[in-house]
Amino acid sequence: MSTVSNSTNIFWQDCQVGRPERQKLLNQKGCVVWITGLSGSGKSTLACSLSRELYTRGKLSYVLDGDNLRHGLNKDLGFLPEDRTENIRRTGEVAKLFADAGLICVASLISPYRRDRDNCRAMLPDANFIEVYMNMPLQLCEARDPKGLYKLARAGKIKGFTGIDDPYEPPINCEIEIKHDDGVCPTPTVMAGQVVTYLEKKGFLEH
């Protein structure tokens, strides 16, 4: 069976309205804010807070939440390493489209493997991929355990759970790192402000 990747009779179709025109219309620059970290580290909290803060500033964003995507686009994938890789690849491709549309795409996924995140970075101009590392220790995330997943993993009811019996590979050169202070996480507003400050400094909030 022929696959798209092997096909030789497909062609890229350009249109008169491109990324520069869309960015001018929105008065912002498209990019991907990729939030990574352990379960319970605050990824979704930051993503939603950031989206709200951008909204109050009149900036258009869209959140790609890892759990939400598994209800639709990635519902056919499990949690084996190859499934995790495909999960991130698909999300990266969708995020790239949002950025090309001129939106600030906020992707919130554990995305445990460094190679997979780097592959998503390679889909865009490097400056347009902003990796945000939620650097929260396992003990803190497990104590919070908002979804009760760590408890299930410790009981052996979930296999291949990141941080317990599957590795998490932290970023080496992320653009933004968010840390706790003596076991206390920053507030959602403070975390969102840190990302917004970066976006402002790099010129993403204006055309």
For the annotated catalytic residues, the residue numbers are 111
Instruction: Provide the pairing of β-strand 31-36 with 129-135.
Output: parallel
- Distance between CA atoms of residues 204 and 80, nearest Å: 36
Torsion-angle region of 186 (φ positive above 0: left; ψ -120 to 50: alpha; else: beta)? beta
**The two structure tokens encoding residue 96:** 């790239």
Closest CA to 38 of 151, 194, 145, 116: 145
Strand partners, 68: none
